[in-house]
Amino acid sequence: MGARFFRKTGASEQVKKFVVKMVMERSLVNEGDRILIAVSGGKDSSVLAWALSAVRPALKINYELSALHISTDFCACCKKSVLGQRLKEWGIPFADIFVPVIRRLKEGEKMNCYWCSTMRRTELLKYAVENGFNKIALGHHLDDIIETFFMNMCFKGELLAMPILLNYRKYPVSLIRPLALLEEKQIIACAAEQNILKAACTCPYGQNSKRREMRSRIADFTGDKDSGVTKRRILKALGEGKFDFLTE
């Protein structure tokens, strides 16, 4: 399944085939899995939900899908009715819980992305464990993973990647990232092709200048024409060297 083949197919077919490839290569989905998809209403998690439903025939694996949206006290304009309707069309049950992210801040502390992510992840794990799910699927894509690796290396001095498969030691739950082989532009194209409308508000705290800077640097050396090929080679190197940075 080479890059040239994928260019000949539509955006939706590219997404499905790369998801199948990632799932099979990393054994992200197994027989009898109960998978909880973290959905924000944005393009990434929505395309992830659509794809995991759409690739069932190709995977030939019996697994259950459900979706969870986390509402917060600073971002309340998500069009949950739109999100819920699309998930229903794909045969995915949908639940919504409220998390007071700002109210949980201690006195003197300021709101930031790390705090929000920690609060959301904590509630995702809690909900998954309490409701018998053994996998949590997140919508991070190839660009997210590559950018995070280079940010950790350049700004923190750490060789640390965003794992495609994370097996928790303290919980009977694993995190999976089935979109790991897909560039953001491929997900955008698929969302347009499937008429997947954005149903989430723009986070007022989500402006990350370092990530934008790193994204620009990566674009400089990966180019535009074959950027996906180069990025997938970087991903391959992260997972097949002396240390596998993509599984924990």
For residue 3, being part of any structural domain is answered with no
| Domain of 136, in residue numbers | 10-239
User: 3-class SS at 152?
Assistant: helix
Strand partners, 70: 97
* DSSP string for the chain: --HHHHHTS-HHHHHHHHHHHHHHHHT-S-TT-EEEEE--SSHHHHHHHHHHHHTHHHHT---EEEEEEEEESS-----HHHHHHHHHHTT--EEEEEE-TTTTSPTT----HHHHHHHHHHHHHHHHHHTT--EEE----HHHHHHHHHHIIIII-------SEEE-SSSS-EEE-TTTT--HHHHHHHHHHTT----SPPPTT---HHHHHHHHHHHHHH-STTHHHHHHHHHHHHHHSSS-TTB-
Torsions phi, psi for 200 (to 5 deg): -110, 150
Q: Indicate the pLDDT class of residue 208, thresholds 50, 70 and 90.
A: low
Number of domains in the chain: 1
Residue 207 pLDDT > 70: no
* Confidence band of 73 (pLDDT split at 50, 70, 90): confident
On whether residue 246 sits in a domain, the answer given is no
The more confident residue out of 125 and 204 is 125
Residue 75 has pLDDT above 80, yes or no: no
Instruction: Answer yes or no: is 77 within a domain.
Output: yes
User: Could you tell me the pLDDT band of residue 3, with boundaries at 50, 70 and 90?
Assistant: very low
Is 124 inside any structural domain? yes
Q: Backbone phi, then psi, for 97, in 5-degree steps?
A: -130, 155
**Domain presence at residue 220:** yes
Q: Which percentage of the chain shows pLDDT scores above 70?
A: 88
Does residue 145 belong to any structural domain of this protein? yes
191 located within any domain: yes
> Is 6's pLDDT higher than 60?
no
Which of 71-80, 124-133, 239-248 is predicted least confidently?
A: 71-80
What is the tally of helices (H) and strands (E) in the chain? 10, 6
CATH number of domain containing 41: 3.40.50.620
**243 or 238, which is more confident?**
238
Residue 20 contacts residue 58 (beta carbons within 8 Å)? yes
Q: Is residue 141 part of a domain?
A: yes
